[in-house]
Amino acid sequence: MNSAAVKPTPAQDEQDFLPLLGTDYVEFYVGNAKQAAHFYKTAFGFQSLAYAGPETGVKDRASYVLVQNKLRFVLTTPMRPGNDIARHVDDHGDGVKVLAIWVDDARKTFEETVKRGANPYLEPVVEKDEFGEVVRSGIYTYGETVHIFVERKNYNGPFLPGYKTWESKYNPTSTGLQYVDHCVGNVGWNEMNTWVDFYSRTMGFHNLVSFDDKDISTEYSALMSKVMSNGNGRIKFPINEPAEGKKKSQIEEYLDFYGGPGVQHIAIATNDIVHTVGELQHRGIEFLTVPASYYEDLSARVGDIDEDIAPLRDLGILVDRDEEGYLLQIFTKPLQDKPTLFFEIIQRKGAKSFGKGNFKALFESIEREQALRGNL
Ligand code: TYF
Ligand code: FE
């Protein structure tokens, strides 16, 4: 059986005990949030939205909230040594702490997930300001990563209570990034199914696609992956684990440098990948590259597509086709010194899959980078 076949979604009428409305925000714990916010604004085209820190009465941290279309990123740094944020940065470097999910009822979401075995991170808490109230709760997932559930139906402030609008005179134009398509976690040896079961048991997710080491082991970089999705498909969490190969798996490299499981990549959707990637490259973002031969075989492999091949080749954008359509995707190099978090830029033209046809070229490209770092 083709292990990458897309499995059917559960019947539509099946009761979803955990309705999720989408990604609410992604929060990064970083060593210097002021500079990180500047980087994400400048290079990725985010705009300033809100701020919390000493000036707004929050003493232990500074948090900068950035927005671009439906994307919200929070960059948080510790103000003093020794707190949980400082310890997180010390242990992992810059990385994703929170994958926040927009829900209708944060108390019920907490109750249902904890009842099913999730480990509590934040007991339901009501936060109020002049714009109304927000209820938040949270559970742990892999490593030190957490999900925060955000109920904001009675709120119309800029972000969350405690944050003030951040008026900035520096507002680079958007690069066309739209929303989070999927967030991928790397977990330890033989832990993939533990986390697949976690999302299925505690949050009612189903397994959309699986890739085994035969689909995706190149010369060296073996891994296994299963994509978990919620009922309405708005939240998709692939889970990777390392597999034994000729040399060190790219997932093992991540685990070594991050100091355990964590978020490997965030895939961000665009409606015009040629425009978006052109802008990102112009602003200094570096992407993985594939050999020129990739584009010589492209038409034969994916058939007719709307885009001209030349700009795709010049920018290094990859294409893959499935039963329902095709997709265009490209991967940044790591976004910090450690070979940990990176972004994927993706434009879906009907395809609901993850680019299996590109795995060989992509993983060979990752291995070239791994070799340059001396980690292969
Ligand atoms: O999310 C995915 O499955 C694709 C492919 O280390 C992928 O983006 C999988 C593993 C990986 C890099 C990309
Ligand atoms: Fe991806």
Which residue's CA is minimally distant from atom 8 of ligand 1?
354
Closest ligand 1 atom to the C-alpha of 182?
1
Strand pairing class (177-186; 132-140): unpaired
- What is the Cα–Cα distance from 193 to 239, expressed in whole angstroms? 9
- What is the Cα–Cα distance from 26 to 35, expressed in whole angstroms? 17
Per-residue model confidence (pLDDT) at position 1: 29
Strand pairing class (206-211; 262-270): unpaired
pLDDT (tens, 9 = 90+) of the chain, 376 residues, equals: 234 445 555 544 345 888 999 999 999 999 999 999 999 999 999 999 999 999 999 999 999 999 999 999 999 999 999 999 999 999 999 999 999 999 999 999 999 999 999 999 999 999 999 999 999 999 999 999 999 999 999 999 999 999 999 999 999 999 999 999 999 999 999 999 999 999 999 999 999 988 876 666 566 568 999 999 999 999 999 999 999 888 889 999 999 999 999 999 999 999 999 999 999 999 999 999 999 999 999 999 999 999 999 999 999 999 999 999 999 999 999 999 999 999 999 999 999 999 999 999 999 999 999 999 999 8
**238 ligand 1 Cβ < 6 A:** yes
Residue 102: both structure tokens together:
């927009």
- Give, for 73, the enclosing helix (H) or strand (E): strand 71-78
- What is the Cα–Cα distance from 38 to 47, expressed in whole angstroms? 10
Per-residue model confidence (pLDDT) at position 212: 77
Neighbours of 154 (CB within 10 A): 12
Question: Phi/psi at 94 (nearest 5 deg)?
Answer: -65, 135
Rama region for 355: left / alpha / beta (φ>0; ψ in -120 to 50; rest):
left
**CB-neighbour burial class of residue 309 (10 A; exposed 0-12, middle 13-18, buried 19+):** middle
**Ligand 2 center to 340 CA (angstroms):** 14
**217 ligand 1 Cβ < 6 A:** no
Task: Determine the residue of 249, 344, 352 to mutate for testing ligand 1's pocket, defined as the one with the most ligand atoms within 8 A of the Cβ atom.
Answer: 344
**Ligand 2 center to 166 CA (angstroms):** 31
**334 ligand 1 Cβ < 6 A:** no
Per-residue model confidence (pLDDT) at position 3: 45
Per-residue model confidence (pLDDT) at position 91: 98
Q: Could you report how far apart the first and last alpha carbons of the chain are, in Å? A: 31
Per-residue model confidence (pLDDT) at position 6: 56
Per-residue model confidence (pLDDT) at position 276: 98
- Nearest to 90, CA basis, from 98, 99, 81: 81
Contact 101, 24 (CB under 8 A): yes
- Give, for 252, the enclosing helix (H) or strand (E): helix 250-258
- pTM, to two decimals: 0.95
**Ligand 2 center to 160 CA (angstroms):** 29
Q: Which residues of 343-357 are buried (b: 16+ CB within 10 A; e: fewer)?
A: bbbbbbeebbbbbbb
**225 ligand 1 Cβ < 6 A:** yes
**224 ligand 1 Cβ < 6 A:** no
**209 ligand 1 Cβ < 6 A:** no
- Give tens-digit pLDDT for 230-263: 999 999 999 999 998 888 899 999 999 999 999 9
Per-residue model confidence (pLDDT) at position 333: 98
- The ipTM of this complex is 0.97
Residue 242: both structure tokens together:
């390392």
- Give tens-digit pLDDT for 135-157: 999 999 999 999 999 999 999 99
